[in-house]
Amino acid sequence: MKAAWYDRSGAARDVLQVGELPDPQAGPGEVRVRIAASGINPSDVKRRAALTGPPTTQRIIPNSDGAGVIDQVGEGVKTRHLGERVWTWNAQWQRPNGTSAQYCVLPERLVAPLYEAEFAAGACLGIPAMTAHQAVFSHGDVRGLTVLVSGGAGAVGHYAVQLAHWGGARVIATVSTPEKAALARAAGADEIIDYKTEDVVARVLELTAGAGADRVVEVDFTANVASDVKLLKPNGVIASYASSARECMVPWQALMVRGIEIDGVYVYTMKPAERNRALADLDALLRRGTLIHQIAARYPLEEIVAAHELQESGRAVGNVILEPAFE
């Protein structure tokens, strides 16, 4: 099969290579997916660069998200799955072989039906959509609540706006450009705040008649925790899935006095019940065909270096997708 891989950590252009590898075979309880689209996420490029763990000395086929068609099943897996269109998640979590290849073998539990959505859309779902779901619903339903989505046009934020709106919340999204404002509005945001030109705390309090938001879906905990505390109602929740710094000081006294909870959202270690709810809700939305998928760029497998570099540049608005060609 054609695949992209690295066998040492480093910059994309220094370590990524594309070539031929043996076709993998599905073992007991596994399926083999013929990959039509592979999603690149921040965790994929950070893992390649050894920013979130020790340098690697083994061959790694990167990327955890993908979509394609099941073309082989292992012992114990029903043959009715053959030919099924699926999306995948956690393909390269604690495993060496991800989705930047023509084939990916993974446990049957790590695939879900894609229905009629395009493969590129399926490759967007794993990390971004499941992270968004957990961040929005980490403390239960949101119907009738006000949810602030920080970075409402980003890969996770765009799904978070949609899911909070679908869940019945009033959604306020922060953005940095008019173009991103349009994306967040189309996704279901009721109110938009340009954090480059507006005071986010003052605007949230104004929009909520001084009451504040019930929950915040946070893209940068370090940069925004002090503001989040000020704009949340007492007993509010900050559900954060990323931060510009690995460590930071928090306004502990204000958090404690106001009873504000902090939920660190890490998609790879979601509790089984949380993951099952996310899968069920995303399945329902996929069946209806109502999810909007924001794809920033598509690259052929041979251009994985450029794709990884775009992802880590921070310039991509939405998901970066590889599309390995079927033979």
Domains 2-127+271-322 and 139-264 agree in fold: yes
Region of residue 82 (left: phi > 0; alpha: psi -120 to 50; beta: else): beta
Q: What are phi and psi of 259, to 5 degrees?
A: 65, 30
Which of 96, 44, 37, 40 shows the shortest CA–CA distance to 69?
Answer: 37
| Alpha carbon distance 111, 70 (integer Å) | 9
pLDDT of amino acid 327 = 47
Instruction: Name the CATH topology of 139-264.
Output: Quinone Oxidoreductase; Chain A, domain 1 (3.90.180)
Decide: residue 271, CB within 10 A, 0-12 exposed, 13-18 middle, 19+ buried: exposed
Per-residue pLDDT of the chain (327 residues; tens, 9 = 90+): 999 999 999 999 999 999 999 999 999 999 999 999 999 999 999 999 988 888 888 999 999 999 999 999 999 999 989 999 999 999 999 999 999 999 999 999 999 999 999 999 999 999 999 999 999 999 999 999 999 999 999 999 999 999 999 999 999 999 999 999 999 999 999 999 999 999 999 999 999 999 999 999 999 999 999 999 999 999 999 999 999 988 888 999 999 999 999 999 999 999 999 999 999 999 999 999 999 999 999 999 999 999 999 999 989 999 999 998 654
pLDDT digits (tens, 9 = 90+) for 230-288: 999 999 999 999 999 888 889 999 999 999 999 999 999 999 999 999 999 999 999 99
Continuous segment of H or E residues that includes residue 199? none
pLDDT of amino acid 326 = 57
Would you call 113 helix, strand, or coil by DSSP? Answer: strand
pTM above 0.85? yes
| Alpha carbon distance 265, 255 (integer Å) | 18
Instruction: Report, in this order, helix, strand and coil percent for the chain, each rounded to 5.
Output: 35, 25, 40
Strand-by-strand arrangement of the 191-194 sheet: 191-194, 170-175, 146-149, 213-218, 232-240, 261-264
| Alpha carbon distance 139, 178 (integer Å) | 31
Contact 318, 170 (CB under 8 A): no
| Alpha carbon distance 184, 309 (integer Å) | 25
Tokens representing 303? 């251009």
Q: Helices 221-231 and 200-207: crossing angle, nearest 10°?
A: 40
How is the chain split into domains, by residue range? 2-127+271-322, 139-264
According to DSSP, residue 56 is labeled P
| Alpha carbon distance 279, 286 (integer Å) | 10
| Alpha carbon distance 167, 148 (integer Å) | 14
CATH class, domain 2-127+271-322, is: alpha beta
Q: What are phi and psi of 201, to 5 degrees?
A: -60, -50
Which of 299, 293, 294, 297 shows the shortest CA–CA distance to 325?
Answer: 299
Q: Compute CA distances 310 → 39, 45, 104, 151, 235, whole Å.
A: 13, 10, 24, 18, 39
According to DSSP, residue 110 is labeled G
Tokens representing 321? 């997708």
| Alpha carbon distance 297, 232 (integer Å) | 35
Would you call 310 helix, strand, or coil by DSSP? Answer: helix
